[in-house]
Amino acid sequence: MGRKILLENSDIPNIKSFDVFRAHGGYVSVEKALKTMAPDEIIEEVKKSGLRGRGGAAFPTGLKWTFLDRKSNKPRYLVCNGDESEPGTFKDRYLMEKLPHLLIEGMICSSFALGVNTAYIYIRGEFKYLLGILNQAINEAYKNGFLGKNILGTNFSLDMYVHPGAGAYICGEETALLESLEGKRGNPRIKPPFPAVVGLYDCPTVVNNVETLANVGYIVNFGGDAYASIGLGKSTGTKLISACGKINNPGVYEIELGMSVEDFIYKEEFCGGIKDNLELKAVVPGGSSVPIVPKKIILFTASGEKRLMTYESLAEGGFESGTMLGSGGFIVYDQNACIVRNTWNFSRFYHHESCGQCSPCREGTGWMEKILWRIEHGFGNMKDIDLLVSIADKIEGNTICPLGDAAAWPVASAIRHFREDFIFHVQYPEIIKNIKHGALYKYENQD
Amino acid sequence: MLKLTIDHQTIEVAEGTTILQAARKIGGSVVPPAMCWYSKLEGSGGKCRTCLVKVSEGSAKDPRPLPKLVASCRTPVIDGMVVQNKTSPEVLEARKAIVEFLLINHPLDCPVCDQAGECDLQDLSYDNGKVSCRYQESRREFDVIDIGNLIKLHMNRCILCYRCVYVADQISGKRIHGILYRGDVSEISTYIKNSIDHNFSGNVIDVCPVGALTDKTFRFKNRVWFLKPMTAHRDCPTCSGKVIAWMRGSEIYRITGRKDEFGEVEEFICNECRFEKKNINDWIVEGPTTLKRHSVISQNHYKEIKTPSVINPLEEKMETQTNDE
């Protein structure tokens, strides 16, 4: 336990610069891939590694790569999805900020495997400070012959660009990202056709998360089997978890998949327990869009086993008694947390970020937010709780892109597991109105 | 040819046909309603979600059902597909939900709306909606604005189907009309409120499924069910000149494009025909039009009513609703 793949060198001073990164074994995988391996071999290794998409959907990366349309004579593109906007998730920006060359290295190997000559890194608009870091890293890679024409004297050429979005959550959805990259309004496309066939500029395109691509370098270096030996079962490798909320040590941790959730929350080298020795109330283990679950469910599965930090274990029991690992945004709530307020806050976010293209999401997210606002502010009634469940149920699965599901799940799960909180809000509006939250609470209790 | 079964009816269609197009070939009750998809507009569809259907068998090779309901307007047929539309309770439930979603921000000002009587949203909610409303929040509100001197935009009524955007994009060839903002506050607009300055811009009125875009030369002049739709044509230098003239006595109140049984314009007409030629002498009137759409307007004798689909279902529904509650 405790092996690291991505963040092993992150503490070395100036690892951002090409020379330091190269001195610590950087870009070795590019040399290995380009000089000794065939593109198909790399894809085979990635398949063997069992690497799964780290952006949230956990689709096997090797399988995704095989869907890429190679028969058409169109150019192919690789797009790195750095539009990390999920509330609670902040792993990709850490990776790009600390180790930009690790991403570029992984992208060169991936591009070679996929036969791509143009690769894009799409970062969200709020990550403007990363633009300079990434551009500098790319320039250094160009100068040292790892990007550009005939890399390392081979026939392989690759150009790489960084493109900042304008700050919309929906542009993290792969087809909306492609629209945005093309300079259009960031509306998700209707699938099929999938980006692997008709993607960027109508050409075959692979879209992968930052963390996924950063893992490719290791897989090329040490082989897919070495990567698969880390982790547990189908959840291979390591995962960056961005832990936040009421814990003693918030931050980004690289964990080996298979560790128990209890260890992750209470061990000193990870979250370090709940702040002020309070009781754990609830956890959102994978960014705001995955279902929120109470203590007894996050620590133990329905069959009474310890819950592990793997895709399968967290999802065990479906949504009745499970949740998802998602993108790894681990949010912890202590006993004083107001689940209704939290749900309203998430709902407000999805209402604000819905693109407005398809009707269930456009109208439903706004409706849910308004009802949750009423309940939270003491104007709710009992019917509203069931109405919320009904709306969430009707948004889920009926939308173009997963944003509708992402908006529905937190609401449905909060009511499923914390219905008494909602009932309390409806029954005692006067008490609710007098509770001060967040900054206001601190301000009033200063002396 | 690909074999497709919709609601137990089988049809063979060519490669690339969508489920909705195939269903329209069969016709009748198997056709899912469509609020945003328009066969003449490339890229439209998939947005309103009213045409969701259940694919109970994915294909002949892989007969597993698809996990989610799919938008039939944008899902191509695969050989051996089995689709459920009206026979699936799940689909009907989802459609009911979509109608509810579309109506929560719709002002329901039908009594003063020019579209009333020929409104797709009215038809949709009569067929699939509920009588009661669970929405008690405030509705979104916009000012009524002019798009050019011929078209009025009631953004409150808009269901954001994007049809007008595609018309403006594809007919004019330059991007002058689009969507501003996002989510439930998004609104259709011309580029920095410029008027749509194009000879075919009036077609956005015809494609609008609701009363969001209305003809300023016809606004509040008459209710559509008092007018007699007459097939007419003229020798127009810019368009086909094939229109429907909406008349009362010998007076022409408005001109629209000819619509097929699914409410889609057959041929787009130019602004001159639509807005300027309101004199009976400009037109060669061929005779009364047979309207195939089921709407309030078809209560008069201009449609042979095959199934009494307008009055009776609503009454039945109202009875069942009151019984439920």
Once rounded to an integer, what is the mean pLDDT over residues B167-185?
Answer: 81
Dmax over CA atoms of chain A, in Å, equals 74
Closest of A244, A333, A248 to residue A283, by C-alpha: A333
Backbone Cα Rg of chain B: 20
Contact A354 B69 (CB under 8 A): no
CA distances from residue A177 to A165, A171, A185, A288 in whole angstroms, order as listed = 8, 4, 10, 20
Closest of A66, A133, A54 to residue A327, by C-alpha: A54
The reported pLDDT for the residue numbered A446 is 60
- Alpha carbon of residue B108 to chain centroid: 17
pLDDT tens for B9-64 read 999 999 999 999 999 999 888 999 999 999 999 889 999 999 999 999 988 898 99
- Could you tell me what percent of chain B has a pLDDT over 90? 54
How does residue B325 score in pLDDT terms, banded at 50, 70 and 90? very low
The reported pLDDT for the residue numbered B169 is 83
Quote the tokens at residue B98: 């979509």
Quote the tokens at residue A286: 């994978």
Angle between helices B89-104 and A382-395 (to 10 degrees): 110
- Helix, strand or coil, per DSSP, at residue A60: strand
Sign of CA dihedral A346, A351, A352, A357: positive
Asked if B72 reaches chain A (Cβ–Cβ under 8 Å), the answer is: no
Question: CA end-to-end span of chain B, whole Å?
Answer: 49
Asked if A272 reaches chain B (Cβ–Cβ under 8 Å), the answer is: no
Quote the tokens at residue A290: 């995955």
Q: Which residue of B has its CA nearest to A361?
A: B183
Asked if B20 reaches chain A (Cβ–Cβ under 8 Å), the answer is: no
Q: In sequence order, which ranges of A224-338 are alpha helices (DSSP H)? A: 224-228, 261-266, 295-299, 311-315, 318-321
Asked if A355 reaches chain B (Cβ–Cβ under 8 Å), the answer is: yes
Contacts of residue B137 in chain A, CB cutoff 8 Å? 367, 370-371
Class of domain A239-334: alpha beta
How does residue B301 score in pLDDT terms, banded at 50, 70 and 90? very low
Contacts of residue A170 in chain B, CB cutoff 8 Å? 182
Contact A360 B159 (CB under 8 A): no
Decide if pLDDT at B322 tops 60.
no
CATH number for the region A339-441 comes to 1.20.1440.230
Give CA angle at B256 (B252, B257), nearest 5°: 140
ipTM of the complex: 0.90
Distance CA A48, CA A225 (A): 6
Contact B181 A356 (CB under 8 A): yes
The structural domains of chain B, with segments of one domain joined by +, span: 2-97, 110-299
Contact A354 B47 (CB under 8 A): no
Closest of B147, B280, B272 to residue B214, by C-alpha: B147
Asked if A298 reaches chain B (Cβ–Cβ under 8 Å), the answer is: no
pLDDT tens for B108-150 read 898 999 998 888 898 888 888 888 889 999 999 999 988 888 8
Class of domain A18-229: alpha beta
Give the pairing type, strands B228-233 and A159-164: unpaired
Nearest Cα of chain B lies from the Cα of A352 at a distance, in angstroms, of: 7
Asked if B319 reaches chain A (Cβ–Cβ under 8 Å), the answer is: no
Angle between helices A39-49 and A210-222 (to 10 degrees): 110
Q: Which residue of A has its CA nearest to B180?
A: A185
Distance CA B172, CA B270 (A): 12
The reported pLDDT for the residue numbered B307 is 47
Chains A and B: how many Cβ contacts under 8 Å? 91
Q: Which of A363, A384, A393, A399 to mutate to test the interface with B (most CBs of B within 10 A)?
A: A363
Quote the tokens at residue B315: 């009454």
Name residues whose C-beta falls within 8 Å of residue A431's C-beta, 6 or more positions apart in sequence: none
Contacts of residue B49 in chain A, CB cutoff 8 Å? 358-360, 398-400
Asked if B29 reaches chain A (Cβ–Cβ under 8 Å), the answer is: no
Dmax over CA atoms of chain B, in Å, equals 61
Question: Closest partner residue to B183 among A354, A371, A398, by Cβ?
Answer: A354
Q: Phi and psi at residue A174, in whole multiples of 5°?
A: -60, -40
Equal CATH topology for A18-229 and A339-441: no
| Amino acid residing at B152 | K
Nearest Cα of chain A lies from the Cα of B137 at a distance, in angstroms, of: 7
Contacts of residue A355 in chain B, CB cutoff 8 Å? 182-183, 186
pLDDT tens for B242-286 read 999 999 888 999 999 998 888 889 999 999 999 999 999 999 998
CB B40 within 8 A of CB B265: yes
**What does the DSSP assignment read for B216-260?**
TTTTTT--GGGSEEEEEE---SSS--EEEEEEETTEEEEEEE-B-
Contacts of residue A400 in chain B, CB cutoff 8 Å? 46-47, 49, 71
The structural domains of chain A, with segments of one domain joined by +, span: 18-229, 239-334, 339-441
- Helix, strand or coil, per DSSP, at residue A171: helix
Contacts of residue A364 in chain B, CB cutoff 8 Å? 101
Q: Is the peptide bond before A193 cis (omega within 30 degrees of 0)?
A: yes
**H or E stretch covering A159:** strand A159-164
Contact B159 A192 (CB under 8 A): no
CATH number for the region B110-299 comes to 3.30.70.20
CA distances from residue B223 to A81, A234, B112, B287 in whole angstroms, order as listed = 53, 65, 9, 20
How would you write the pLDDT of chain A (447 residues) with one tens digit per residue? 468 899 988 899 999 999 999 999 999 999 999 999 999 999 999 999 999 999 988 999 999 999 999 888 999 999 999 999 999 999 999 999 999 999 999 999 999 999 999 999 999 999 999 999 999 999 999 999 999 999 999 999 999 999 999 989 999 999 999 999 999 899 999 988 999 999 999 999 999 999 999 999 999 999 999 999 999 999 999 999 999 999 999 999 999 999 999 999 999 999 999 999 999 999 999 999 999 999 999 999 988 899 999 999 999 988 888 999 999 999 999 998 899 999 999 999 999 999 999 999 999 999 999 999 999 999 999 999 999 999 999 999 999 999 999 999 999 999 999 999 999 999 999 888 887 766 556 566 665
CA distances from residue A368 to A400, B157, B203 in whole angstroms, order as listed = 19, 21, 36
The reported pLDDT for the residue numbered A394 is 94
Residue whose entry in the numeric block shows the structure tokens 């790195």: A80
| Amino acid residing at B39 | S
Asked if A351 reaches chain B (Cβ–Cβ under 8 Å), the answer is: yes
Distance CA B219, CA A176 (A): 38
Class of domain B2-97: alpha beta
